[in-house]
Amino acid sequence: MSKTTEISKKKLLGIAGLGWMFDAMDVGILSFVIAALKVDWGLSVTQMGWIGSVNSIGMAVGALLFGLMADRIGRKKVFIITLLLFSIGSGLSALVTTLALFLVLRFFIGMGLGGELPVASTLVSESVEAHERGRVVVLLESFWAGGWLIAALISYFVIPSFGWQAALLLSALPAFYALYLRLKLPDSPKFQAIKGKSEQREPMFKKIGQIWAKSYKKQTAMLWILWFSVVFSYYGMFLWLPSVMVMKGFSLIQSFEYVLIMTVAQLPGYFSAAYLIERFGRKFVLITYLTGTALSAYFFGNAEGLALLLTSGIFLSFFNLGAWGALYAYTPEHYPTEIRGTGSGTAAAIGRVGGILGPLLVGYLVTAGVTINIIFLIFCIAIFIGALAVLLLGDETKQKKLV
C-alpha cells in the first residue's frame, strides 16, 4: 500500500470515526439524562422506558430509510444529512419542558443516529482493501467507546452541577462538524463506479425484495436474527445501566461514577476484537464475544456486592462492544454494492425494533415487580440466540472480495 493511500485510509477512518463518536456521545448522554429526568420531571419507570424506545423507533425508521437512500444518492450525502439531523435535534431537546415534546425530538434524533451508523460502516467497508477491512471497521466502531466515555464524563461532571440541558447542548456540537465533512469526506469508490446505475428511477423499496432473493436469503435471515438479539439486549441493558445501579441502592452520582468505570472497558473490547477479526475470522469473534456478553449479563443481574457488580459490568462492556465492532464489519460483507446500503440498513432497522422493545420491557417488568436478575437472564438468553444464528447460518467472510 502506498503512503498516499495509507494517509487517505487514516483520514477516512478519522472523519467517519468522529461522526460515529458523536453518535455514541448522544446515546450515552441519553442514558444518564433518563436517570436525571426521573428526578426533575418525576417520571415513572414506564415513562423512562418510553424515552429509550422512542429513540429506537426513530433509529429503525432512519436505518431503513437512509439505508435505501445511500444506495440511491450516495453514502457521503446520507452521512452528512443524518449527522445534521441528530445534532440539531439534540440541541433543541435541551430547550423543551414537556415529556411529549422531548419524545418527538428523540424520534428525529433517533432517525439520524439509526441512519448514520450502517451508512458509515458501508462507506468504510467499500473504501479499504479486503485483507484489513474487518480490522478497520472494528476500529471505526471503537470510536463509539470514545463517545460513550465523553458522555460519561460530561454526565458525571456537568449534569449534577449544570443540569441535563447543558449536557444535551454539548452533544449538539457535531452540527458544525457536518459542514467540515461536506468538504473533506470522499464518497465510496465502489458507489462512484455504479453511480449511474444507482440513480435509475426504480422504486427504492424494490431493493428490499432483492436482499431476500435466493442468493441472499440465508444471510439476510441470519443478520436479522443477530441484529435483533444484539440491539434488544444492548439498549435494554445499557440505557438502563445508571438507573439499574440506582435500583441496586447507589446514589445517582455513585451510579454515574461506576458506569464511567465500566465504560472504559469498551476500548480494550474493541481493540482486542480488531486484533482477532483478521486472524480468526468474523464468526469466531462474534460467537466468542456474544457468549462472553451473555455470561457477563447473567452475573451482572445476579450481583449483590459492589465488587461483583463492577467486575461483571466491566466484562459486559468489554465483550458487548467488541461484538458490536465485529457486527458492523460482518454485515456489509454479505451483499453486492448495488444493495449493500439496503442490506445493512434493513438489518440495522430490524435490530432497532429490538432496541424499541428492550428498554420498554425493562420498564414494564420493573413496574410489575420482576427482579433485575430475571430481566438480565432474558437478555442473556437473547444474546445466546444471536450467537447460535451466527454458528448455524453464518458464512465466514474474512478477506472476502467485495463486488
Q: What is the pLDDT along the chain (403 residues), one digit of tens a residue?
A: 444 455 477 778 888 888 788 888 887 888 788 888 888 899 887 888 788 778 888 988 998 899 889 888 888 888 888 888 888 898 899 999 999 999 999 999 999 988 888 888 888 888 888 888 888 888 888 888 888 888 888 888 888 889 899 988 888 877 777 667 666 777 778 888 877 654 445 666 677 888 898 889 999 999 999 999 999 998 888 877 777 777 777 776 777 778 778 878 888 998 899 899 999 999 999 999 999 999 999 998 888 888 888 899 899 999 998 999 899 889 999 999 888 988 998 998 999 889 888 888 888 898 888 888 899 999 999 999 999 999 999 999 888 888 7
SS (H, E, C) 51-100: HHHHHHHHHHHHHHHHHHHHHHHCHHHHHHHHHHHHHHHHHHHCCCCCHH
**Residue 216, C-alpha cell as written in the block:** 441472499
Classify residue 401: in a domain, yes or no: no
**Residue 132: DSSP 8-state:** G
Cα 283 from Cα 188, distance rounded (Å) = 26
Closest CA to 29 of 147, 116, 178: 147
Asked whether residue 260 is assigned to any structural domain, the reply reads yes
Q: Number of C-alpha atoms within 13 angstroms, CB side, residue 354?
A: 25
Q: Give which of 203, 228, 187 is closest to 337, Cα–Cα.
A: 187
Q: Which CATH number fits the domain that encloses residue 305?
A: 1.20.1250.20
Q: Has residue 287 been placed in a domain?
A: yes
Q: Is residue 109 part of a domain?
A: yes
Structural domain count of the chain: 1
Q: What is the pLDDT, as a whole number, of residue 7?
A: 45
Asked whether residue 196 is assigned to any structural domain, the reply reads no
pLDDT at 2: 46
Cβ 15 vs Cβ 83: under 8 Å? no
DSSP structural state of residue 251: -
47 located within any domain: yes
pLDDT at position 179 is 67
Q: Tell me whether residue 399 is in a domain.
A: no
Is 143 within a domain? yes
Cα 17 to Cα 237: distance, rounded to the nearest angstrom: 24
Q: Which residue has the cell 445511500?
A: 70
**CB–CB of 203/367 below 8 Å?**
no
Between CA 118 and CA 71 the distance in angstroms is 12
Q: Which residues form the domain of 285?
A: 8-179+208-393
Instruction: Give the separation between CA 247 and CA 367, rounded to whole angstroms.
Output: 12
pLDDT at 277: 92
Burial of 201 (0-12, 13-18, 19+ CB in 10 A): exposed
Nearest to residue 282, comparing CAs of 158, 165, 130, 115? 130
Q: At what angle do helices 133-157 and 3-41 cross, to 10 degrees?
A: 30
State the DSSP code for 131: G
pTM of the entire predicted model? 0.81
